[in-house]
Amino acid sequence: MPTETKPHVLMLSSSRMGDEGYLEHARDMITEHLGNEKDVLFIPFAGVTLGWDDYVEKVREALPQLNITGIHTCDEPQDAVASAKAVLVGGGNTFNLLNELYKQSLIEPLQRQVSQGMPYIGWSAGSNICGNSIRTTNDMPIIEPPSFAALNFVHCQLNPHYTDYQPPGHNGETRDDRLFEFTRLNPKTPVLAIREGTALQYAEGRLTLLGELEGFCFSGDDKTPIAPGQDLTHYIS
């Protein structure tokens, strides 16, 4: 029997960790995830204040070992995805990113390619869209996409840039408050919250947390710690 092809997805919480350079903390994870693949299609649609050409150059400078092509320079974006060897999706505004994917009819091509084993790497907004929907993003809804439904590579919700810090004197809702609002209304849908500098990797049918910091799973009224290296596959099965 032929070997079943499985998704190969890396979901980075952020493009930076602390005071490190752009994607510096993630280079080894990106390199390992791509294996020998060097030709990469980059989707810069989450960039709003940063122009897409400038965004591509920024990523090229951070990952000089890769041959990076911006999808916005391709005459036929759907064909570019269909023929891509690997895809990178950058951070920025998740609503704008998802809106452009719908506008350019790229949702299904991305889902099809990833289901066939094409490596996918996203950070921040590029990770947000890997879950069921973007309903647990931290971003301001600066534009309204046709749907909040996302790529659904992992059957749960995601919250990159997670922090439980509450500034002294701050009286607004905390991140935990916001995530528990979601799980109160959607008790059967877990939210995986990951701190900056960490990542979720879905490979060989297994979902794990990469990095040195713990994450959390919000589900119903519960907040459960996630240890680095822990098998999280049961959350998405």
The residues that are catalytic are 124, 139, 161
Structure tokens at 222: 């519960």
Which residues have C-beta within 8 Å of that of residue 120, sequence separation ≥ 6?
7, 8, 9, 10, 86, 87, 89, 110, 113, 114, 130, 153
Measured between alpha carbons, how far is 187 from 33 in angstroms, rounded to an integer?
32
3-state secondary structure of 210: strand
Question: Are 194 and 29 within 8 A, CB to CB?
Answer: no
Question: Are 99 and 48 within 8 A, CB to CB?
Answer: no
Residue in the block written with tokens 């990095």: 211
Measured between alpha carbons, how far is 182 from 220 in angstroms, rounded to an integer?
9
Strand-pair category, 157-159 with 191-193 = parallel
Q: Which residues pair with 224 in a beta bridge?
A: 217
What is the full DSSP assignment across 144-160? --S-SB---SSSSEEET
Residue in the block written with tokens 């590579």: 153
Structure tokens at 223: 């907040």
Q: Which residues pair with 225 in a beta bridge?
A: 216
